[in-house]
Structure 1
């Protein structure tokens, strides 16, 4: 097994062809350098230098070995740099789960920031609804999740990263379209397209809680998993619905949106991670995300002033 210290002494001497100058480059005296090179020659079973008086030159074996020795030192230095960067979270892979709502602006903006700050981290994306992200954490197939805050058997840490208002989705021509804002009581007895209590658990629980606390009773006609499909049902005139404001980005024709007048209701988006995760790249990405979203909130607050 080659000793990198001995190889380093050889390369310095082979480059300078002067043991005294080579020793000075390595911040050592000449006798220890000569001894290291002798040990290397003994290990290899060849002479690497012809020594004539104070003059040294490479043997044929020395010239052959110099090219490989130089590559070996370069690889060793690269390996040291790589492992240090990995320990600092500057390299590695981060697997991110995200909902469709997070995919419009939240995730693209974060990835753009990460491309600048953490260019050597490889990001793998998985578009998953919130409950599917919980299962992905359980199977250890994602490291970070951008999801609606739902209960989990996993020990997950959640941090709020975004809030958006809830809006009423109406089929064009519906009588409630005549109002600029809609009071919750106006939805009483309306045919309603509701999120699924399983796949859309966050919104199902949220809306049922709002209806119950305000003594509003809607006529649920369908339970649907995804917002785009809910909007398709609304467009067909099968009922009204309440969705996060980001659903307006779907630009469905024959669907109009109105804000709620008497209920301050927000849809939350959280960043989630396993409490026991120890991947430095994930930690670095998570800290970047926290700062990125904090900067966005500060910027948004400045714009509102």
Structure 2
């Protein structure tokens, strides 16, 4: 097994063609340097230098060995730099779960910021609904999640990164389209395309709570998990729905949106992570994201 210290002495002597100058370059005296080179020659079983007065010249074997020795030292320095950067979270892999709503703007903008601050971190994206992200944390399939905050038995921590109002989505030509804002009482007994109480639990709970404050009798036409499908059914005239304001970005034709008068219920987007995770890359990315969202909120 080659000794890197001996190899370093050899490369310095080969570069300087002089043991004294090579020793000075390595901040050592000449005798220890000569001894290290002799040990290297004994280990390899070849002569690496010809001594000519105060100078040295590489043998044929020395010239052959120099190229590999130089590469070896370069790889060793690279490995040392890589492990140090990894320990500081500068390199590594981060698996990020995100909902469709987060994927429209939040995730792309965050990744642009990450490219500037943490260019050597490899990001793996997984589009998952919020409930599936909670399960993915349990299976150790994601490191960070951008989701609607849901209760969990796991040791998850949440940071609010965005919030938006809930609004009414209507098929074009619906009677309620005549109003600039919709009163909750006007939704009584309307056919609803409603979020699923299981996979769409976050929105189901918030919408049900909001409708209860207006004593609205719910008439559910369909339970659906995903916002695009809800919008498709509304466009077909099969009912109305309550969705986060970001749903307008899907630009469905024949669907109109109205604000809810006096509504203070917001749809939250949170960044989640396991409190017991110890991956430096994940920690570095989370801190970068936290600072990014703080700056965005101040702006």
The alignment's TM-score, normalised by the length of structure 1, stands at: 0.95
Structure-2 residue corresponding to 1:90: 90
Q: CA deviation at 1:275?
A: 1.3
Equivalent runs, 1:1-305 vs 2, <5 Å: 1-299=1-299
What is the aligned residue count? 299
Contact map agreement 2:184 2:216 (CA 8 A) in 1? yes
**Structure 1 residue runs of 4+, over 3 Å off?**
none
Tell me the CA shift for residue 214 of structure 1: 2.9
Q: Alpha-carbon deviation of 1:184? A: 1.1
TM-fit CA distance, 1:276? 1.4
Q: Secondary structure at the match of 2:220?
A: strand
SS state of the match for residue 203, structure 1? helix
Structure 2: runs of 5 or more not aligned: none
How far is 1:86 from its partner? 1.0
How far apart, in 1, do the equivalents of 2:149 and 2:246 lie? 17
Deviations 1:14-55 (A, max 9, x none): 111101100111111111111111111122122211123323
> Shift of residue 209 of structure 1?
1.2
2:190/2:240 contact within 8 Å kept:
yes
Distance of 1:228 and 1:113 partners within structure 2: 28
Q: How far 1:125 sits from its partner (Å)?
A: 0.7
The answer as to whether partners of 2:7 and 2:40 remain within 8 angstroms in 1 is: yes
Following TM superposition, by how much is the alpha carbon of 1:115 offset from its aligned partner in structure 2, in angstroms? 1.1
- Other structure's SS at 1:153 match: coil
Structure 1, residues 150-188: CA drift from partner, whole Å, max 9, x if none?
112221111110001110011111111111111111111
Helix, strand or coil at the partner of 2:103: coil
User: 1:119: Cα distance to partner?
Assistant: 1.1
CA-CA distance at 1:213 after TM superposition: 2.9
Aligned residue in 2 for 1:302: none
In 1, Cα distance between equivalents of 2:55 and 2:20: 11
> What CA deviation, in whole Å up to 9, does each residue of 1:237-292 have, x standing for no partner?
22111100000011111111000112211100001111111111111111111111
Q: 1:19, 1:254 → 2: CA distance?
A: 84
Unaligned runs of 5+ in 1: 300-305
Taking the aligned partners of 1:46 and 1:156, their CA distance within structure 2 comes to 61
* Secondary structure of 1:46's aligned partner: coil
SS of the equivalent of 2:41 reads helix
